[in-house]
Amino acid sequence: MKPKCQSCASCGMPLEKNEDFALGDPSSSYCRYCTDKSGNLLPYEKILKANADYFKESQGLTDPAALKMATDLLLNQPAWKNREA
């Protein structure tokens, strides 16, 4: 069974077009923002910071608020759910 709407297993971004996927490869579980040039998943801290920056800019949040939002978001993603604290 295919998932109806695929999203990045790291940041939850909807993966709609081929170019949204890592390396433009629709079989990847991650988006291009969460991976490096080789298609490998970036470290948690980098993705956390990228998402916090995004929330800060797009929603005008303060640093701590944006960081908390990003932390909560990543907490529920398959890629980070079982992350060692």
Per CB under 5 A, 48 contacts Zn ion: no
Q: Is the CB of 62 or the CB of 82 nearer to Zn ion?
A: 82
Per CB under 5 A, 74 contacts Zn ion: no
Number of residues that bind Zn ion (CB under 5 A): 6
- What residue has token string 């800060």? 56
Per CB under 5 A, 34 contacts Zn ion: yes
Compute the distance between CA of residue 1 and CA of residue 43 in angstroms, rounded to an integer.
30
Asked whether 13 and 81 are in contact (CB, 8 A), the reply is no
Q: Is the CB of 31 or the CB of 48 nearer to Zn ion?
A: 31
